[in-house]
Amino acid sequence: MKKITVLPTWCFRDEAGNPLDVQLLRLLGAVHRRGKLTQAAEDVGISYRHAWNVLRQGNAFFGVALVELKRGRGAQLTPLGDKLLWAEQRAVARLGPQLESLGSELNLAIAREQQGAVSVLRLHASHGFAVELLPRHLTALPLDLQYCSPHESLAALDRGSCDVAGFHLPRGAVGERIRASYHERLNPREHRVIGFITRTQGLMVAPNNPLGIEGVASLALEGVRFVNRQASSGTRSLLDGLLSEAGVASTAIRGFEVE
């Protein structure tokens, strides 16, 4: 059965309504990966000449160059080109889970129209790489996958809105405290907890760890800047628990409020 995939797409227009070639961002991404315009054009599936035209149009549209070409040194993005690519990556990261959920709903509606009543596994879970791969491997029955926070997933299970709820459970004392917050949503007579995936989490730092960050306590050191996960995520619950164990106040961490 054919399936719908929903992807975000940029649309640039000037004051007169003139559009910019939609291939520009794909070309910028390929330039960033390959470092050569010839190879970038090949990745995008366009000719070298057309790639030049796309770049010229983009340069004229924004009034500054988006790619810097140097003889013998290949191609690299200018600051604005890099910022445009960053904006696209950020949009995809933020919208991706919601669009996947929308695609799941549309595919389910189509399947019901084509096949009538069909058995469906309704899964509500926090977005993750393993969960994202499930639709590709689950072929026995259609999967209605909706992305939401762990607490929202368990609330949906509690009211019968889904069949399976995905949630995170750290090991150790932090996990026991988080388990207690899930307790009111889990009924031993009706629910069974099944381990699905185990992952190791940590702090992502600059190459060679120049600030010497050794753990969550290091986040409060002078000169350290931090970017957080959203408050509803399982990773955030884990971090909050680890900070409490370490006796580190979130107000002491520069950038804690930045998600």
pLDDT at 29: 92
Of the candidates 38, 33, 61, the one whose C-alpha atom is nearest the C-alpha of residue 51 is 38
- Which residue in the block uniquely carries the two structure tokens 């969550």? 216
- Which residue in the block uniquely carries the two structure tokens 């995008």? 44
Q: Mean of the pLDDT values across residues 187-196?
A: 87
- Continuous segment of H or E residues that includes residue 100: helix 79-115
Task: Determine what percent of the chain is predicted with pLDDT higher than 70.
Answer: 97
Q: Which of 116-125, 170-179, 198-207, 228-237 comes out lowest in average pLDDT?
A: 116-125
Residue 208, pLDDT > 90, answer: yes
Q: Mean of the pLDDT values across residues 25-40?
A: 91
Question: Can you say how many angstroms the Cα of residue 124 is from the centroid of all Cα atoms in its chain?
Answer: 16
The number of CA neighbours under 13 Å toward the Cβ of 105 is 10
Q: What is the pLDDT of residues 20-32, one digit of tens each?
A: 888 898 999 999 9
Task: Determine what percent of the chain is predicted with pLDDT higher than 90.
Answer: 39
CATH 1.10.10.10 domain extents, the chain: 7-95
Q: What is the pLDDT of residues 47-98, one digit of tens each?
A: 999 999 999 999 988 999 999 987 767 889 999 999 998 988 888 878 877 7
Residue 115, pLDDT > 70, answer: no
The vertex-67 CA angle with 66 and 70, nearest 5°, equals: 150
- Scored b (16 or more CB within 10 A) or e, 235-256 reads ebbbbbbbbeeeebeeeebeeb
Fold of 7-95: Arc Repressor Mutant, subunit A (1.10.10)
Task: Using DSSP, state whether 67 is helix, strand or coil.
Answer: strand
SS3 content of the chain, % helix, strand, coil (to 5): 50, 10, 45
Q: Residues 127, 129, 131, 134: what is their CA dihedral angle, to the nearest 10 degrees?
A: 140
pLDDT band at 12 (very low <50, low <70, confident <90, very high): confident
pLDDT at 117: 60
pLDDT band at 165 (very low <50, low <70, confident <90, very high): very high
Of the candidates 64, 32, 197, 206, the one whose C-alpha atom is nearest the C-alpha of residue 125 is 197
pLDDT at 1: 60
Q: Mean of the pLDDT values across residues 187-206?
A: 89
The vertex-85 CA angle with 38 and 44, nearest 5°, equals: 35
